[in-house]
Amino acid sequence: MKNLLTVAILIVLIVTGIWLTKPTIDSGTYTVKIGYFTTVINDAPLFIADELGWLKDAGITYELIPLTTSNQALEGVISGRLDLYTAASILPILLASIISPDKLKLFNVAVLGKEQPFDALLTLKENNIALWEGIEGKSIGIYPGSTAQKIVKKILTAKGVDVSKVKIVPLPPQNHIPSLLNGSIDLLHAYEPTIAILKTTGKVKEVYGSLYADLIKGGAPIIGGAISAEFIKSHPNKVETIIRTLDRGYSFMQSNEKEARTIIQQRLNLSPEAASKISPLFGALGSNIDMENVQEFSDLLYDMGELPERVNINSITYKRLVD
């Protein structure tokens, strides 16, 4: 239960006063603190809303604060250093809802399925690896953390792979590309935009599409956004405005894909070729959370031992003031 311990320590430190700040009560000049990630496409709706000036036009004064880890994002929201973040691993949100249920709410979710893939299993073109029996005896680089490892092993097992014969290699994200290209690992379970970047080298091929899409029917809601309960209480109208604007960014991605890719290219510092190769764009639509899908995924995490108890998704989800 390393994940639970980490989140618990963060919450204890925060609620006892370390780093603790508190949003001011409703004010037209309040600056909303929004966390985002600089290396993945999860925040694309936010990038679009910011680039096109929609938040400013809606009367929102805000600051974008870069993040590097999901735990950092969670700590920021619980402490008050962030009012919200739009997309990160959903697991810390679920853990925090158990330990300190009055601190935050889940307000958007991205479901990763066949139509909106986010991950893929890659190898070098020179490697002759057959699915799925050919994976036995090979090494697979994955994101660090027990959840990623358990999910990959669960899916491989379901495909008939003897995972005791597979070497799972947790790697920090910055090591994913060089480790695959230099042959340190045989395969890489990669996320976007790493997939697109590797494909531009001409040295990599896709062995299999999204593993997460096979995790549960309808796709896996592994990405979620959290919003401070204090911010909801103090600035309910700003919350609604921000969520509507993020939804608008999501819709823009679907109807203006070329321009959306250009914005993502600039924000993530991608080459035009890499931006063009990113799989069909996806985003988190705050007003359209599939409760049953998220509940099924949460129950799966509990069954895998990643959650100490079951979470009632309906009770931790932000309820819109207007539909």
Domain ranges in the chain are 2-113+219-316, 119-209
Q: What percent of the chain lies above the pLDDT cut of 90?
A: 64
Task: Tell me the Cα Rg of the chain.
Answer: 20
The answer on pLDDT for 53 being more than 70 is yes
Distance of CA 164 to the CA centre of its chain: 28
Alpha helices in the chain (DSSP H): 2-15, 44-51, 54-57, 70-79, 91-99, 146-158, 176-181, 194-199, 229-234, 236-255, 257-268, 272-277, 291-303, 313-316
Tell whether the torsion through CA atoms of 176, 180, 182 and 184 is positive or negative.
positive
Place of tokens 């358990």: 150
Q: Is 271 left (phi over 0), alpha (psi -120 to 50) or beta?
A: beta
pLDDT tens digits along 160-176: 999 999 999 999 989 99
**Which of 110-124, 175-189, 226-240, 277-291 has the lowest average pLDDT?**
277-291
Same fold, 2-113+219-316 and 119-209: yes
The answer on pLDDT for 13 being more than 70 is no
Task: Answer whether 270's CB lies under 8 Å from 197's CB.
Answer: yes
Helix (H, G, I), strand (E, B) or coil at 47: helix
Q: What percent of the chain lies above the pLDDT cut of 70?
A: 88
The answer on pLDDT for 106 being more than 90 is yes
How high is the pLDDT of residue 277?
Answer: 87
pLDDT tens digits along 230-248: 999 999 999 999 999 999 9
Arithmetic mean of pLDDT, 34-56: 92
How high is the pLDDT of residue 6?
Answer: 59
How high is the pLDDT of residue 283?
Answer: 54
How high is the pLDDT of residue 308?
Answer: 95
Centre a 10 Å sphere on the Cβ of residue 320 and count the other Cβ atoms it contains: 14
> How does residue 12 score in pLDDT terms, banded at 50, 70 and 90?
very low
Would you state the CATH architecture of domain 119-209?
3-Layer(aba) Sandwich (3.40)
How high is the pLDDT of residue 200?
Answer: 95
> How does residue 101 score in pLDDT terms, banded at 50, 70 and 90?
confident
Arithmetic mean of pLDDT, 118-129: 94
> How does residue 7 score in pLDDT terms, banded at 50, 70 and 90?
low
How buried is 59 (Cβ within 10 angstroms: 0-12 exposed, 13-18 middle, 19+ buried)?
exposed
The domain made up of 2-113+219-316 has a fold known as D-Maltodextrin-Binding Protein; domain 2 (3.40.190)
pLDDT tens digits along 250-302: 899 889 999 999 999 999 999 999 998 887 665 556 668 899 999 999 999 99
